[in-house]
Chains A and B, each alone.
Chain A
């Protein structure tokens, strides 16, 4: 049995792979549950042994993939503090934010084969929480769009400028308008602590949505 520590090169990659895979599923599901796009473009799939919804619109899928592709190097280096899916109203003011707060667990190791199935269980819980989150959230106004923000740790931004993962798909600094939300209310959804990642998901919701 091999024990990998954080210093091993592919450790970060493993974590990033797992997380990005999860994030892709989560983003699709959020878009479905929060009705950002008509439900017609979604198909039912199975992931983490639970049913999930996935968009079948190629451009949207490509966009999400590209985005996560750019997020991955950040997660690898533990530079991403939060990945945020922001749902905005027509005026591009955020109404809801799904915040995935990612940090490293106190003890980092990939020790055994059971780990991955354990992580899968935890992620499944996230997915299930997301699929029922409309119960605790107010309805969004019509005509919403979404965007993905990343809160980086320290000076990671500077490195990101240098390395463009996908050509002509660079990071830009978010507008204040997109970041600032009036009277945000916080609704914690799920927290997980595993050997490879510690993550919590909460939703920030604007008090007055319309």
Chain B
């Protein structure tokens, strides 16, 4: 943040009108925060001094020690730290390196190396700064014109980090580095315009990197010392025209896939006038394609880095995000408590002991009550947490309307140009009051709205006290509005440290009673009090009283406790208990209590469902009780219907889980999203996917369903929202895709997301928020059991001694390089070509990289080819650590290899399917001859592996003839089907669909490869295999096949890559329409309750058909199923059909952009 200071500084200078005083407010807020932190820091550290009093520093760029450390030092020693540079207030600028342009700007300022501070602290007094000055003398201005230009041309408000003004960044060193690159452009680019284009494109990408690293600076300084002439700089100064210049490039790229039509094709037959139509021709000149593509690829790489920074910065700086992550933290805390207790064999519960003692004092009258309670859940919720924490040391504010907000009492803010706060205000208001969300249009301005609303503060209220709530203030309201409702409203700033502290002490208190805690959020906890109460023999009310007293005592904040026989009732009781109270919902009171509750108070019933229900005439839970289960299920789906049915009767069987299962992992950003070009958005999505990958890996889960959520500026909404960087009025759009396989790879997610994104066909400029969510999670079970926390995924990993963590690190560092590896699911190939030459049959190799997306039964494992790496690649120490036999074998293989120099494949080539899933055994595709296998080694293998190998050998026996045929004919072209069958069999047979087998014993069970697998195949394999690799592969093929291969082989590269033949999609072996109909009829008529697995299988078959572009068949099958299933007496069948149809429609929508018309 501090490093952006230069840009912001200027904004600040003009901030009074242009930025709505935003910067001024922010700077003073930061100062306040600094003061607060300083006192805390001083308390913590103890030692402190005032050596820096009167010194205000501003840290510029990368320093050693870093800015945070310097900030801390300044705190401890009485100095000031400015996040934003201010010429009047800042006394010293701290920097290790400064680019020349900045030196120009800082004429007369003291620029000092950070050692000055550290040395001063060491010395205990303020040392003279002279000898620490970064530049003793300021050189004369090198480019006098530039400074003038720069000050005069700072454009209006920039729209956040993505749209940094070009001019101010022109002075950054990167552009000078860049000149040298431009000089390297081959001479054929003599035409000036492409150069300019290339230049502006790349430079732009460069200039957007907010945090230049040290090396670039040094380079830059070198460059400036080499006298960068103004003339040389000239083109870059013209770069402000980049938006126009780069447009054709994106246009021409999009052109390649866009549909085109013949000119004059609006053919009105009788009056066709070709001449007039021709005159309307649009001439799209094809841009200089090659140059552009290089520039765009280059710039996108840099963009990637840049947006990546943005995301990580957002997540490190967004404190709300941190709060939301606390819950996981507290869950872990509870987990830890449990494991500790297990380890210690028993823990001390101070709270419990105290309660026991107090119970003993008045035991005589309490025992009777305790007997009747069987199970009891306590729901502890702090009363308006942020507020009560904020005012716990400010008794003067107690009992007054208080709101926690980032605004500091200032009600009015000047408007920014481009924003239309009135409109937004109106919109939000309408959204609040109206049940139906109405369309907004700028014309429908209701002038009744107070004009002043325009100038009201848009800071949102995070939490407000009960007094304020009485006045009508609500959480999430804008402060300006709230102040109007409740003029005496006081605002309290956020205090994140204190929140953490209070939350932690609350958890400590509760842990003092029991460990059966489920952390809901930082201020909300569920406790399963059943065992505790039984043990103590107390009444829940007493327990609640004790808990509340403790919390009040220790934290100074109030908590409310609701109690009931299940989670639902406890939560509902809390609502009644608030504020600062407790309520025990006795089981005999439940019916009366719940009957009058509005349905919206049930958890899971939001405004949308509430509206749906009220349309059904249901308002209270009593009404809801009248609705039949089947009706609810039809209306809301089987799951939700069931839940509603139970909830409105006060039934809830969810257990209190101290270990919470994650349902989804997501990353979302809807602040400061302003893209100008499509590739920026793409880069951003890619980076966001990487963030999701990080989180998935952190949580140790992999997911299958990927949802892309975007917020798009609503048509008619103002370009700039009233809130700075906010999203304004938006349409929310979400698209979901089901991956073929559970994944945690950011790359896979990114490709899926990008596909969705393109399908949405949005204006990137209107994007205001982006989020990626992964659902259908599957835990890495082995990860939790494995003490090291890492699965050893493959033998290869073991061999090379590579840790998954190392892999993920490298993945983070170089997302590009990792591409081939991650798609292949083989994390550790020491060189990419390891995968391909090891292929048994060249034809199948194309499938390899995509195997990570194989269908359900095989998707759980990765297809991974393993070759014993060459001696140089193997870590000696690892080799030595291997069992003797294994080591011998590895060494043996090296010897063999040396012996057979010419052979592309080592004789020991193993092609293994490595189990990625603990319970799905991998399958060996190609193995050494069984006779070659050393029985000792075989015996030494783990049992599962042995079994796998055995079954693999059995299988090979069956496949052998085919593969032999393939090899002898060398027929890539002639026998590809055979080859695929082989691999298909290898993948599929291992895990057949048991259920179908049982049901339909006649049909041979066979599996085609998954749709996604195919999709990738038909895409550009070049994307997956690096070009070199495929070349090598083909060479290998030729070598192997020898001269006998037909001449058509030469043309394989292109033709083969375009279409690899594949077997037709089949449902449990059935391929023909009549067979499938028979099968389906059998299924529907004989079974009353369809298994989910079967339904999924049908869905998969349908998606296969879509992939296979056989919509006709799909249509027939859907219609057939519709007839069958909706006729069935069981309602589950029609639900099953709805499920299948929904899923199919999603896929059709994705592929064709429209949905099937089902009549």
Interface residues of A (CB under 8 A from B): 5-7, 37, 41, 55, 57, 59-60, 63, 66-67, 70, 78, 82, 84, 86, 88, 92, 101, 103-104, 106-107, 136, 145-152, 154-158, 160-161, 168-174, 178-181, 183-191, 198, 200, 202, 204-205
Assess whether B1155 is in contact with A174, with CB atoms less than 8 Å apart.
no
For the complex of A and B, 8 pairs with smallest distance between CB atoms: A106-B1061, A184-B1154, A188-B1111, A185-B1157, A147-B265, A191-B1112, A188-B1115, A60-B269
11 contacting pairs across A/B (C-beta < 8 A)? A7-B1051, A59-B272, A103-B1059, A147-B262, A149-B261, A172-B260, A174-B261, A185-B1155, A187-B1157, A188-B1112, A189-B1112
B1148 contacts the other chain (CB 8 A): yes
Assess whether A185 is in contact with B1156, with CB atoms less than 8 Å apart.
yes
Chain A positions within 8 Å of B143 at CB level: none
- Given A70-B262, A186-B1154, are A191 and B1110 also a contact pair (CB < 8 Å)? yes
Assess whether B1109 is in contact with A198, with CB atoms less than 8 Å apart.
yes
Q: Which of A60, A169, A191 contacts B1111 (CB 8 A)?
A: A191
Chain B positions within 8 Å of A189 at CB level: 1112
Assess whether B259 is in contact with A174, with CB atoms less than 8 Å apart.
yes
Query: How would residues 224 to 257 of chain B score, 1 for a CB under 8 Å from any chain A CB and 0 otherwise?
Result: 0000000000000000000000000000100111
- Given A63-B267, A150-B261, A200-B1112, are A186 and B1152 also a contact pair (CB < 8 Å)? yes
- Among B261, B274, B1048, B1112, the most chain A Cβ lie within 10 Å of the Cβ of B261
Assess whether B289 is in contact with A158, with CB atoms less than 8 Å apart.
yes
| Bound Cα distance A203, B1148 (Å) | 13
Chain B positions within 8 Å of A84 at CB level: 259
Assess whether A5 is in contact with B1048, with CB atoms less than 8 Å apart.
yes
| Bound Cα distance A170, B973 (Å) | 37
Smallest beta-carbon distance B1050→chain A, Å: 9
Query: How would residues 273 to 294 of chain B score, 1 for a CB under 8 Å from any chain A CB and 0 otherwise?
Result: 0100010011010100100000
Assess whether A174 is in contact with B1048, with CB atoms less than 8 Å apart.
no
Not counting A66-B262, A172-B281, a sample of 14 additional A-B residue pairs whose C-beta atoms are within 8 angstroms of each other reads A106-B1060, A145-B266, A151-B257, A152-B257, A168-B278, A171-B260, A172-B260, A172-B262, A173-B284, A187-B1156, A188-B1111, A191-B1110, A200-B1112, A204-B1154
Assess whether B269 is in contact with A186, with CB atoms less than 8 Å apart.
no
- Among B252, B265, B289, the most chain A Cβ lie within 10 Å of the Cβ of B265
Smallest beta-carbon distance A167→chain B, Å: 11
> Which residue in chain A gives the minimum CB-CB distance to B285?
A161
Smallest beta-carbon distance B589→chain A, Å: 50
Assess whether A157 is in contact with B255, with CB atoms less than 8 Å apart.
yes
- Given A7-B1048, A155-B256, A200-B1111, are A171 and B262 also a contact pair (CB < 8 Å)? yes
B1055 contacts the other chain (CB 8 A): yes
> Which residue in chain B gives the minimum CB-CB distance to A70?
B262
Smallest beta-carbon distance B863→chain A, Å: 21
Assess whether B261 is in contact with A107, with CB atoms less than 8 Å apart.
no
Chain B positions within 8 Å of A67 at CB level: 262, 265
Interface size class of B (residues with CB under 8 A): 35 or more
Smallest beta-carbon distance A15→chain B, Å: 14
> Which residue in chain A gives the minimum CB-CB distance to B254?
A173
| Bound Cα distance A181, B1159 (Å) | 20
| Bound Cα distance A88, B266 (Å) | 9
| Bound Cα distance A41, B268 (Å) | 13
Chain B positions within 8 Å of A161 at CB level: 286
Smallest beta-carbon distance A41→chain B, Å: 8
- Given A60-B267, A198-B1109, are A168 and B274 also a contact pair (CB < 8 Å)? yes
Smallest beta-carbon distance A210→chain B, Å: 17
Chain B positions within 8 Å of A190 at CB level: 1112
B53 contacts the other chain (CB 8 A): no
Q: Which of A147, A152, A173, A187 contacts B267 (CB 8 A)?
A: A147
| Bound Cα distance A150, B1055 (Å) | 22
B263 contacts the other chain (CB 8 A): yes
Smallest beta-carbon distance A99→chain B, Å: 8
- Given A136-B1159, A147-B265, are A191 and B1059 also a contact pair (CB < 8 Å)? no
B1058 contacts the other chain (CB 8 A): yes
Chain B positions within 8 Å of A158 at CB level: 252, 255-256, 286, 289
| Bound Cα distance A41, B1112 (Å) | 32
> Which residue in chain B gives the minimum CB-CB distance to A88?
B266
Chain B positions within 8 Å of A106 at CB level: 976-977, 1059-1062
| Bound Cα distance A82, B1153 (Å) | 14
Assess whether B1154 is in contact with A181, with CB atoms less than 8 Å apart.
yes
Assess whether B267 is in contact with A149, with CB atoms less than 8 Å apart.
no
| Bound Cα distance A148, B259 (Å) | 10
| Bound Cα distance A104, B1109 (Å) | 11
B258 contacts the other chain (CB 8 A): yes
| Bound Cα distance A22, B475 (Å) | 66
Assess whether B272 is in contact with A63, with CB atoms less than 8 Å apart.
yes
Chain B positions within 8 Å of A55 at CB level: 269
Interface residues of B (CB under 8 A from A): 252, 255-270, 272, 274, 278, 281-282, 284, 286, 289, 761, 973, 976-977, 1048, 1051, 1055, 1058-1062, 1109-1115, 1148, 1152-1157, 1159
Chain B positions within 8 Å of A145 at CB level: 266-268
Chain A positions within 8 Å of B1062 at CB level: 106
Chain A positions within 8 Å of B270 at CB level: 57, 59
| Bound Cα distance A189, B761 (Å) | 27
Smallest beta-carbon distance B1031→chain A, Å: 20
Chain B positions within 8 Å of A103 at CB level: 1059, 1109
Assess whether B1111 is in contact with A37, with CB atoms less than 8 Å apart.
no
Assess whether B267 is in contact with A146, with CB atoms less than 8 Å apart.
yes
Assess whether B1109 is in contact with A191, with CB atoms less than 8 Å apart.
yes
Assess whether B261 is in contact with A148, with CB atoms less than 8 Å apart.
yes
Assess whether A104 is in contact with B265, with CB atoms less than 8 Å apart.
no
Chain B positions within 8 Å of A179 at CB level: 258-259
Assess whether B1153 is in contact with A184, with CB atoms less than 8 Å apart.
yes
Assess whether A205 is in contact with B1157, with CB atoms less than 8 Å apart.
yes
Q: Which of A150, A183, A205 contacts B259 (CB 8 A)?
A: A150
| Bound Cα distance A190, B256 (Å) | 28
Assess whether B1111 is in contact with A174, with CB atoms less than 8 Å apart.
no
> Which residue in chain A gives the minimum CB-CB distance to B256?
A155
Smallest beta-carbon distance A72→chain B, Å: 12
- Given A186-B1155, A188-B1115, are A173 and B281 also a contact pair (CB < 8 Å)? no
Q: Which of B266, B268, B1110, B1156 contacts A200 (CB 8 A)?
A: B1110
| Bound Cα distance A55, B264 (Å) | 19
| Bound Cα distance A198, B1018 (Å) | 15
Chain A positions within 8 Å of B1113 at CB level: 191
Assess whether B1059 is in contact with A104, with CB atoms less than 8 Å apart.
yes
Chain B positions within 8 Å of A160 at CB level: 260
Assess whether A169 is in contact with B260, with CB atoms less than 8 Å apart.
no
| Bound Cα distance A71, B761 (Å) | 27
Chain A positions within 8 Å of B264 at CB level: 63, 169
Chain A positions within 8 Å of B1109 at CB level: 101, 103, 191, 198, 200
Chain A positions within 8 Å of B1112 at CB level: 188-191, 200
Assess whether A147 is in contact with B260, with CB atoms less than 8 Å apart.
no
| Bound Cα distance A147, B263 (Å) | 9
- Given A157-B256, A157-B260, A158-B256, are A172 and B266 also a contact pair (CB < 8 Å)? no
- Among B268, B269, B281, B1060, the most chain A Cβ lie within 10 Å of the Cβ of B269
| Bound Cα distance A104, B1114 (Å) | 20
Q: Which of B258, B269, B272 contacts A174 (CB 8 A)?
A: B258
Smallest beta-carbon distance A189→chain B, Å: 7
> Which residue in chain A gives the minimum CB-CB distance to B283?
A172
> Which residue in chain A gives the minimum CB-CB distance to B1159?
A136
Chain A positions within 8 Å of B1051 at CB level: 7
> Which residue in chain A gives the minimum CB-CB distance to B1116?
A188
| Bound Cα distance A161, B1062 (Å) | 34
Chain A positions within 8 Å of B252 at CB level: 158
Chain A positions within 8 Å of B1157 at CB level: 136, 185-187, 205
| Bound Cα distance A185, B1145 (Å) | 10
Chain B positions within 8 Å of A183 at CB level: 1154
Q: Which of B259, B267, B281, B1059 contacts A151 (CB 8 A)?
A: B259
Smallest beta-carbon distance B738→chain A, Å: 19
Assess whether A6 is in contact with B289, with CB atoms less than 8 Å apart.
no
